[in-house]
Amino acid sequence: MELYLVILFVGALLAGLLGSLTGLGGGIIIVPLLTIGLGVDIKYAVGTSLVAVIATSSGAAVSYVKEGLTNFRIGMFLETATTVGAICGAALAAVISSWSLMIVFGVLLLYSSFNSFKNRKQEFLSVKEQGIKEDSFAEKLKLDGTYPVSPGNNISYHASHIGGGYLMMILAGILSGLLGIGSGAFKVIAMDTIMKLPFKVSSATSNFMIGVTAAASAGVYLSRGYIDPVLSMMVVLGVLLGSMTGARVLMRSNTKILKVVFSIVILLLGIEMIRNGILDIIR
């Protein structure tokens, strides 16, 4: 039992650290850890993961807000889409089989791995150098902003393609409710790739948002008895410590190598999750 709790805590610590650094949310590690590594039923794993995602968001958000990386206007605007999607996803989870959840989650892991390998734009280019045009809708909502790259040196950025980012957020919310991952991968994709925000801003804003999205669907899992208090307590302690550490590391570190390592890990986990889902079908 002691070994079980140690493995759970260390895994949660790593999940919080990586989730905070990349904006993907700790659930992308917690669910495979519980299901593949510890043999927990996936619906209980998802319920525990949702609690962990809330802890990850809380731990990282404080540091990111203090450093001026989080864009509150963008976060609250896009959260209207993810919250509705999360409630819909949680409702669908009750009628979807465990094997289908495993396969969907595995595919999401593979996609996240592929996206992590892609070369991202330079963090420190100005808006003009990046060639990003102003978006009139974003201007009306005052979604543009600045973020610090060094003491006394801020870079301005524009948000663009607001409609595409909003639609991606609806999908992110549905996946969060179904899989308990906070859907940080799709949040970062929506902000970084579609809306053309700097990656650090996307990551920080994603960490701010994932807790709200997870909370919207966690209540549904709680009412159905899918949140185990013992599992949740150990996971929350681990991810909270990991996310607070990751927030400090992100501010002064280059995370390219970490992303490559992380993408390899989730690639392997995605393959294993799909394999387990297919084995459940065969059985």
Which pLDDT score, from 0 to 100, does residue 70 have? Answer: 87
pLDDT digits (tens, 9 = 90+) for 134-169: 667 778 888 888 887 776 778 888 888 888 889 888
Question: Cα–Cα distance between 271 and 113 in angstroms, integer?
Answer: 11
Residue 95: partners with Cβ closer than 8 Å, 6 or more residues away: none
Q: What is the DSSP string of 139-164?
A: HHHT--EEEEEETTEEEEE----HHH
Question: Cα–Cα distance between 99 and 154 in angstroms, integer?
Answer: 47
- pTM equals 0.70
In contact, 26 and 239? CB cutoff 8 Å: yes
Q: Which two tokens stand for residue 108?
A: 């999401």
Question: Cα–Cα distance between 80 and 143 in angstroms, integer?
Answer: 15
Which pLDDT score, from 0 to 100, does residue 255 have? Answer: 52
Q: Could you tell me the CA-to-CA distances from 58 to 26, 28, 51, 122 in Å, in that order?
A: 12, 17, 11, 28
Which pLDDT score, from 0 to 100, does residue 157 have? Answer: 85
pLDDT digits (tens, 9 = 90+) for 84-95: 887 888 788 777
In contact, 91 and 224? CB cutoff 8 Å: no
Short-list 130, 129, 134, 156, CA closest to 145: 156
In contact, 254 and 57? CB cutoff 8 Å: no
| DSSP annotation of 35 | I
As a whole number of angstroms, the longest Cα–Cα distance in the chain is 61
Residue located via tokens 């289908």: 100
Q: Could you tell me the CA-to-CA distances from 37 to 30, 90, 108 in Å, in that order?
A: 10, 24, 19
Which pLDDT score, from 0 to 100, does residue 124 have? Answer: 45
